[in-house]
Amino acid sequence: MGYTVGMRATARPSLGPADYPFSHPVRTRFAETDAMGIVHHSAYLPYLEEARVAYLRDLGRSYAALHESGTNLSVVEAWVGYRMPLRFDEVVDIGVVVAETARAWFQIAYLLTVDDAVRATAVTVHGAVGNDGRPQRLPDWLREPPWD
């Protein structure tokens, strides 16, 4: 085929909640479940996005402010490892950590737990692009973040 799938997501999410400097709770919704009350796999990506946006906001960096400054953080790859199902009305704690940065992209690792039981791990890879859609360098605050 000429291309390889999954080459950017190299981070290995830790199973230890203490390895994540930020955690964001999300309550699962009925609309995201099947007839057995299990959350559909497609609902996990919006959970990751919600946690990622909350993490940046906690760092004092909103997506709106980034866009206004001419930087957008596009998702270029996502990986989720499902370990145990999420169910309707559970509160999922989503641990977030920046796992790796490079010149124009970075990876975030996630740990999804309910009552300290690991339910899933995930990695998203993001590329920095300008408002014109062209690749650009990551902002300095993201390349040399406070989590180092």
Q: Is 34 a catalytic residue?
A: yes
pTM over 0.85: yes
Number of domains the chain is built from: 1
Q: Per the domain annotation, does 10 fall within a domain?
A: no
Give the tens place of pLDDT for each residue, 73-132: 999 999 999 999 999 999 999 999 999 888 999 999 999 999 999 999 999 999 999 989
Q: What 3-state class would DSSP assign to 66?
A: helix
Which one is catalytic: 34, 58, 89, 116?
34
CA atoms within 13 A on the CB side of 42: 4
Its domain, for residue 92, covers: 17-143
How would you label 21-33 residue by residue, b for 16+ Cβ within 10 Å and e otherwise? Answer: ebebebebeeebb
| pLDDT reported for residue 29 | 97
Tell me phi and psi for residue 32, to 5 degrees. Answer: -95, 0
Question: What is the CATH number for 116?
Answer: 3.10.129.10
Return d(Cα 21, Cα 8) in angstroms, integer.
23
